[in-house]
Amino acid sequence: MTGPGLPPGISVHPVPGLPEFAPGDDLAAAIARAAPWLADDDVVVVTSKAVSKVEGNLVRVEPGTDRETARQQAVDAETVRVVARRGPLRIVETRHGWVVAAAGIDASNVAADALVLLPEDADASARRLRDRLHELLGVTVAVVVSDTFGRPWRDGVTDVAIGAAGLPALVDHRGAVDQHGNRLETTQVAVVDELAAAGDLVKGKLGGIPVAVVRGLRFRSPEPDTGTRPLVRLGPGDLFPTGTRDLVGSRRTAATLAHRDGALSAVTEAFRTAVAALPEFPVVFRYGSEEGSEEGDGGDVVDVHLADPITPVTSLSLGAVVGAALVQLQADGWATRWEPAGTFGGASLAGRLWLGADAG
Amino acid sequence: MTGPGLPPGISVHPVPGLPEFAPGDDLAAAIARAAPWLADDDVVVVTSKAVSKVEGNLVRVEPGTDRETARQQAVDAETVRVVARRGPLRIVETRHGWVVAAAGIDASNVAADALVLLPEDADASARRLRDRLHELLGVTVAVVVSDTFGRPWRDGVTDVAIGAAGLPALVDHRGAVDQHGNRLETTQVAVVDELAAAGDLVKGKLGGIPVAVVRGLRFRSPEPDTGTRPLVRLGPGDLFPTGTRDLVGSRRTAATLAHRDGALSAVTEAFRTAVAALPEFPVVFRYGSEEGSEEGDGGDVVDVHLADPITPVTSLSLGAVVGAALVQLQADGWATRWEPAGTFGGASLAGRLWLGADAG
């Protein structure tokens, strides 16, 4: 019995034989030499690191300087906004509008005395590369500049596009109707990101193959060419403008906070965060669980004391810190209940915080 | 001049000719008929929707029921935790550990009287499909079950893996040394996600091609086969457990909050959120900007009044709400400053909230 044959699809090819790049090198000429087989409508996927190297977008690590310290300084310089932080790890919004760990500054695949920044304008880099390849080989290709990003909630990195030219970043199916008559509401496919991912399957993190070519994809060159700008989602459209564990910039680390375990340490951390967040409410408080407290439903009880005499002003300050801490605890998944103490006549006991099992 | 020829890479093929699937259908047999050319080490990328349909993982929309209402109810049932919310949109953690809009329940490419859930256990589905294809065709393939996910900070959806068999979800480069002698610290590549993305380039959201095959990738079957479980990053490793705009579950919508604009509406929203979050602090307050206030530095001033008499108890409650609101405002990017009123002798003015330009 014979069945259908192998249907035509797309193919993804590595481009081996490229040299180690340095500032001022002609990337397009090197690609043209290594891939003279490039054809119209091929998509050239280039690792951003190669682009940054030829464009000289490097930071030199001075002799005697700690590489990690230099990296943190470089991250500072590239950062518009810290989105989340845990210990030395910072997820930041870069000047380009990308949200990425360490501003995309990777310390691998570069000499030990240098760090590579993201390209200054990777869309422009992609356009230049596209134009030069047309000059050199007479072919009209599209270009994707790729970088390796992590993402929330999923372990493992994937390559995404941070620059593009000659193809649409998003393919829009909105308003189209499927074969069942359902109108597609929200489907815009980030095709350049899928191309970057496909390219990574034949490149290598170790092998120094910074370029791949995808052949066989059908697409239309957009006019005007907005590159990867349509991918940037910040401002009102962003549901995750801040990593919750790092709501407060001054909170240096949340590594000590064991989720779903350790009520007291969670409370400690939340109050520390709240105090740091609210310097306009100076409050000194003590808290600790009463021994032999009798909550029978598996929750923890933390008694909150105010060191200063109870007055309306100190109560307001204490309340501010408690409120901020409770919201932080809720965001971390704890069920909370606050029971104010019944009397305030000079007593230093301000209230009791009940911390329940995970709020799920 | 002849240069190097086209280097071998990988190829990605659609599998056309598959039928519309219904509960009880033999998916493996259909794939074997449509793709008799399958070979050892091919990766079969199957849209989760096809898997759910044959496994009967559908919700019936009763006649007369609104499709969107039925969908929201189905999302409720599949949700372990709401991670973020904006109006009807919910980003949730599913039973499987995936964080995805609407619990991955898509209303497209299915008959109008049904909704398709994610597969019950897509790793098990992948293993069964792999085993059955071995029985039917005598080939040892890997299987990826793909679904279409959005992601924070980037517009456009991409396909990712929610089930896998016969290949490692993550390829681990940690500890490896690049050609410059730098040790790679954190690089684990989510290869199955990149395969899902590559597969999507030849499938179609509209065309009813639910299966693609990737050929030419080198990989080793893991033992034991943990499927896509290594991709799940929740709990302590998760820096984004809660969408900040929706810190509080009872906050139904943040669509009215214009970021970096409209200080008063931001304050209104933050206080509404704080009040909802802290039912243990009953407080009635009024706020509004004094006319003719004289902050000269471009910030907005909101005076916060307490409707009840000022006592330690009401101050504590007010403080809790103010503190929670300030943290929320900070999370939304506002610079805040709280100036408590100087006197409390019966005065209803509790304090003044200064809201600065974006905190950057």
- A334 plus A195 within the same structural domain: no
The terminus-to-terminus CA distance of chain A in angstroms comes to 55
pLDDT at B298: 45
Tokens of A152: 């929330």
Tell me if B148 and A9 make a contact (CB, 8 A cut-off). Answer: no
Tell me if A326 and B338 make a contact (CB, 8 A cut-off). Answer: no
Helix (H) or strand (E) holding B191: helix B191-200
Confidence of residue B205 (pLDDT cuts 50, 70, 90): low
Does the residue B109 lie in any domain? no
Confidence of residue B243 (pLDDT cuts 50, 70, 90): low
Our CA-based measurement puts residue A243 at a distance from the nearest CA of chain B, in whole angstroms, of 5
Does the residue B84 lie in any domain? no
Confidence of residue B344 (pLDDT cuts 50, 70, 90): very low
Contact A211, A28 (CB under 8 A): no
Tell me if A333 and B81 make a contact (CB, 8 A cut-off). Answer: yes
Does the residue B4 lie in any domain? no
Question: Mutate which of B239, B317, B318 to disrupt the A interface (most A C-beta within 10 Å)?
Answer: B239
Mean pLDDT of chain A: 80
Confidence of residue B140 (pLDDT cuts 50, 70, 90): very high
Confidence of residue B268 (pLDDT cuts 50, 70, 90): low
More reliable by pLDDT, A329 or A199: A199
Does the residue B62 lie in any domain? no
Tell me if B327 and A326 make a contact (CB, 8 A cut-off). Answer: no
Our CA-based measurement puts residue B291 at a distance from the nearest CA of chain A, in whole angstroms, of 24
> What is the Cβ-side half-sphere exposure of residue A185, based on CA atoms within 13 angstroms?
5
Bridge partners of A47, per DSSP, are A146
Contact A325, B324 (CB under 8 A): no
**Domain C-terminal end among B188, B206, B240:** B240
Does the residue B72 lie in any domain? no
Nearest-CA residue of chain B relative to A343?
B313
b/e code B41-73 from CB counts within 10 Å (16+ = b): bbbbbbbbbbbbbbbebbbebeeeeeeeebbee
pLDDT at A258: 30
> What is the Cβ-side half-sphere exposure of residue B161, based on CA atoms within 13 angstroms?
37
**Total tally of structural domains belonging to chain A:** 2
Q: Above 70 in pLDDT, residue B248?
A: no
- A319 plus A336 within the same structural domain: yes
Does the residue A42 lie in any domain? yes
- A220 plus A261 within the same structural domain: no
- A211 plus A257 within the same structural domain: no
Does the residue B339 lie in any domain? yes
Tell me if A277 and B158 make a contact (CB, 8 A cut-off). Answer: no
pLDDT at B94: 95
- B148 plus B161 within the same structural domain: yes
- A151 interfaces chain B, CB cutoff of 8 Å: yes
List chain A residues with CB under 8 Å of B14: 7, 9
pLDDT tens digit sequence for B67-119: 888 888 999 999 988 887 766 788 999 999 999 999 999 777 777 789 999 99
Nearest-CA residue of chain A relative to B345?
A312
DSSP letters, B88-104, are TEEEEEETTS-EEEGGG
- A43 plus A179 within the same structural domain: yes
Q: Above 80 in pLDDT, residue A198?
A: yes
Contact A129, A46 (CB under 8 A): yes
**Domain C-terminal end among A183, A213, A242:** A242
**Domain C-terminal end among B193, B225, B240:** B240
Q: Which of A99, A280, A319 sits opposite B153 (nearest CB)?
A: A99
- A18 plus A145 within the same structural domain: yes
DSSP letters, A276-297, are HH-TTS---EEEEPPTT----S
List chain A residues with CB under 8 Å of B88: none
Q: Which of A201, A236, A330 sits opposite B277 (nearest CB)?
A: A330
Tokens of B7: 């280097």
CA distance A252 to A245: 10
- B312 interfaces chain A, CB cutoff of 8 Å: yes
Taking a contact as any Cβ pair under 8 Å apart, which residues of chain A between 113 and 132 contact chain B? none
Beta strands in A211-333 (DSSP E): 211-215, 285-288, 300-306
- The domain of B342 spans 245-358
- B142 plus B205 within the same structural domain: yes
Tell me if B233 and A152 make a contact (CB, 8 A cut-off). Answer: yes
pLDDT tens digit sequence for A50-71: 999 999 999 999 888 888 888 8
Does the residue B166 lie in any domain? yes
Task: Quote the Cα angle for A142-B170-A201, to 5°.
Answer: 25
Q: Give chain B's radius of gyration (CA, Å).
A: 27
- B128 plus B187 within the same structural domain: yes
Q: How far is CA B266 from CA A225, A324, B290, B350, in A?
A: 36, 17, 17, 19
- B126 plus B28 within the same structural domain: yes
CA distance A38 to A50: 19
> What is the Cβ-side half-sphere exposure of residue B326, based on CA atoms within 13 angstroms?
37
Taking a contact as any Cβ pair under 8 Å apart, which residues of chain B between 57 and 86 contact chain A? 80-81, 84, 86
pLDDT at A15: 97
Percent of chain A at pLDDT > 90 equals: 48
Identify residue A112 by its one-letter amino acid code: A
For residue B95, give the nearest of B123, B124, B60, B121 by alpha carbon.
B121
pLDDT at A356: 60
> What is the Cβ-side half-sphere exposure of residue A52, based on CA atoms within 13 angstroms?
22
DSSP letters, A93-153, are EETTS-EEEGGG-B-SSS-TTEEEPPPTTHHHHHHHHHHHHHHHH----EEEEEEEEEETT
pLDDT tens digit sequence for A80-139: 888 877 667 889 999 999 999 999 997 777 777 899 999 999 999 999 999 999 999 999
Confidence of residue A266 (pLDDT cuts 50, 70, 90): low
- A206 plus A284 within the same structural domain: no
Rounded to two decimals, the pTM is: 0.73
Out of A196-205, A304-313, B19-28, least confident range: A304-313
Tell me if B173 and A205 make a contact (CB, 8 A cut-off). Answer: yes
Query: Residue B19 sits in a domain of what CATH number?
Result: 3.30.1330.100
- A150 plus A270 within the same structural domain: no
Angle (deg, nearest 10), helices A263-277 and A312-331: 120
